[in-house]
């Protein structure tokens, strides 16, 4: 009799575990979907590193003075785009603009974003 009681108890515990998994997991996904959007942190402008990145990867399309060429002018991009828009464009690319997700580290992405944002 107590054997049945114990297995009943275990079954209930298992069902409760499954219930928790089923209800708790979608909750977490919701948090990920509706959580606060990514915000580029406030960083000091690192012109030296940024110019190195720019010269290596961006100059061919955006020009040596950010005046543009194959890509648009970036000399005043800080007043046209938010840091978040800049970050996303550089990271993910857009039409003729290549994605730099794989070629730049997160730090480098944030560095060049902050530098471009300072060009108002």
Binding residues for ligand HEC, rule: CB under 6 A, are 57-58, 60-62, 70-72, 74, 77, 80, 86, 89-90, 94-98, 100, 112, 116
Q: Closest CB to ligand HEC among 20 and 86?
A: 86
Q: Return the closest-CA partner of residue 50 out of 119, 4, 101, 3.
A: 119
The answer to whether 116 and 78 have CB atoms below 8 angstroms apart is yes
End-to-end CA distance of the chain: 79
Q: Closest CB to ligand HEC among 7 and 55?
A: 55
Q: Closest CB to ligand HEC among 15 and 80?
A: 80
Closest separation in Å from C-beta 36 to ligand HEC: 23
Closest separation in Å from C-beta 33 to ligand HEC: 26
Closest separation in Å from C-beta 65 to ligand HEC: 14
The answer to whether 109 and 100 have CB atoms below 8 angstroms apart is yes
The answer to whether 91 and 100 have CB atoms below 8 angstroms apart is yes
């Amino acid at each position: 009799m107590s054997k049945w009681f114990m297995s009943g108890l275990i079954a209930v515990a298992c069902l409760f575990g499954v219930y928790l998994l089923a209800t708790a997991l979608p909750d977490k996904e919701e948090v990920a979907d509706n959580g606060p959007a990514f915000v580029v942190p406030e960083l000091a402008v690192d012109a030296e590193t940024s110019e190195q990145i720019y010269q290596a990867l961006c100059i061919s399309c955006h020009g040596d003075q950010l005046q543009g060429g194959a890509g648009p002018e970036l000399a005043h991009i800080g007043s046209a785009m938010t840091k978040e828009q800049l970050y996303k464009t550089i990271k993910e690319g857009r039409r003729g603009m290549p994605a730099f997700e794989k070629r730049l580290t997160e730090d480098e992405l944030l560095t060049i974003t902050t530098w471009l944002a300072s060009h108002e």
